[in-house]
Structure 1
Amino acid sequence: MGRAGKALRQVLETYGISQNRLAVTIGINRATVNQWFNETRDPLAESIPDIVDALETLNPVAATDFLSLYLGRPAPKD
């Protein structure tokens, strides 16, 4: 599967964000997040902004890390 699932798994594990919490924040079914997390299905391109917005709400650093991992770019330095 693609890079998004791997990036999402890493970010959720690193920052202790549950799949359920992300799903509720996005407003989708937890099973969908679970499919992304377990890389059985990649999020659609249209879902990436929703993931980033939800992560920004939950933990802005997690959102930045997700984007860096997803895009394959180093995280910006402060």
Structure 2
Amino acid sequence: MGRAGKALRQVLERYRITQNRLAVAMGTRRSNVNRWVYENADPVAEAVLEIRDGLRAINPDAAEEFIQLYLNAPPGEEEKS
């Protein structure tokens, strides 16, 4: 577990997006977002796309960064410059 949660946590903190705001944008419960952020559950593939779309509605840069972190960063490592 973890890659999506780590990417999501980093993006929410960096762009100052609350879990509740993302949940509303996604049309889901905040508890779902919380489980992903704290890595208690991994989002299914469809939910990863919904996270991207929810972030895009709030801040397109946040959505892009989430996808980049999720797809490119090896688990447990920060992206190297």
Percent identity among equivalent residues?
Answer: 57
The CA deviation at 1:2 is: 2.6
- 1:4 corresponding residue in structure 2: 4
CA distance in structure 2 between the partners assigned to 1:46 and 1:2 by the alignment: 16
The CA deviation at 1:52 is: 0.5
Q: TM-score, normalised by structure 2?
A: 0.87
Moved over 2 A (4+): none
SS at match of 2:42: coil
Structure 1 segments unaligned to the other structure (5+ residues)? none
Q: TM-score, normalised by structure 1?
A: 0.90
5 Å matches for 1:35-50? 35-50=35-50
- 2:62 corresponding residue in structure 1: 62
Structure 2 segments unaligned to the other structure (5+ residues)? 74-78
CA distance in structure 1 between the partners assigned to 2:54 and 2:28 by the alignment: 11
Q: 2:12 matched to 1:17?
A: no
- 2:28 corresponding residue in structure 1: 28
CA distance in structure 1 between the partners assigned to 2:40 and 2:49 by the alignment: 20
The CA deviation at 1:36 is: 0.3
Opposite residue 25 of structure 2, the aligned amino acid is T
